[in-house]
Structure 1
């Protein structure tokens, strides 16, 4: 299984970029994006930036990853999924029969 990481671009030459997440830095391909600037958040799979993220979406993904880590360590993970607590799961619009 592959998880997409919400990484922040530190510096870029348009073809690749040095990105960071949770204190780790790595060189990432930018070939699928239109030259995002330093400071932008990108979703990275297998060292390839797939799409731009806004701050809120990047935070939610980072919280989910932290929550998974906490759950695997046997710790309480509810605080990382605050947006899901006390609400029923919702189907995406394209799957609803309205």
Structure 2
């Protein structure tokens, strides 16, 4: 399983940026997303920023990762997924039938 993690850009340029997550700082390739201003959240996978994130999406990903960690350790995890508990899953538009 491959995971991407939200990180915050601290400084950098088109090629590389220093990014932080949970108190740890690391160099991240910015070749796929270009230079981003400090404070921007990016999704980092295998040392590369693959996409710029809105704050709400970064927080939702962080909550899901915390929930996964809690579930794997046997702790209560449902509260991390409050946005999806109690609703039916929805298929993306391109996977829905035409209904004809």
Please, what TM-score do these two structures have when normalized by structure 1?
0.94
2:75 is matched with which residue?
75
Q: Is the 8 Å Cα contact of residues 18 and 27 (structure 2) preserved in structure 1?
A: yes
Aligned to 1:58: 58
RMSD: 1.0
d(CA) in 2 for partners of 1:64, 1:75:
14
Per the alignment, residue 9 of structure 1 pairs with: 9
Aligned to 2:95: 95
1:42 aligns with 2:46: no
Retained in 1: the 8 A contact 2:8–2:42?
A: yes
How far apart are 1:72 and its partner, in Å?
0.9
Q: What TM-score do the two structures reach when normalised by structure 2? A: 0.93
1:58-81, Cα deviation, whole Å (9 max, x unpaired): 010000000001111111111110
How far did residue 34 of structure 1 move? 2.5
Unaligned runs of 5+ in 2: none
Residue pair 2:5, 2:62 contacting (<8 A) in 1 also = yes
CA-CA distance at 1:10 after TM superposition: 1.0
Whether contact under 8 Å (2:13, 2:36) holds in the other structure is no
- Structure 1 moving runs of 4+ over 3 Å: none
Cα deviation digits, residues 43-91 of structure 1 (max 9, x gap): 0000000010000110100000000011111111111101111011111
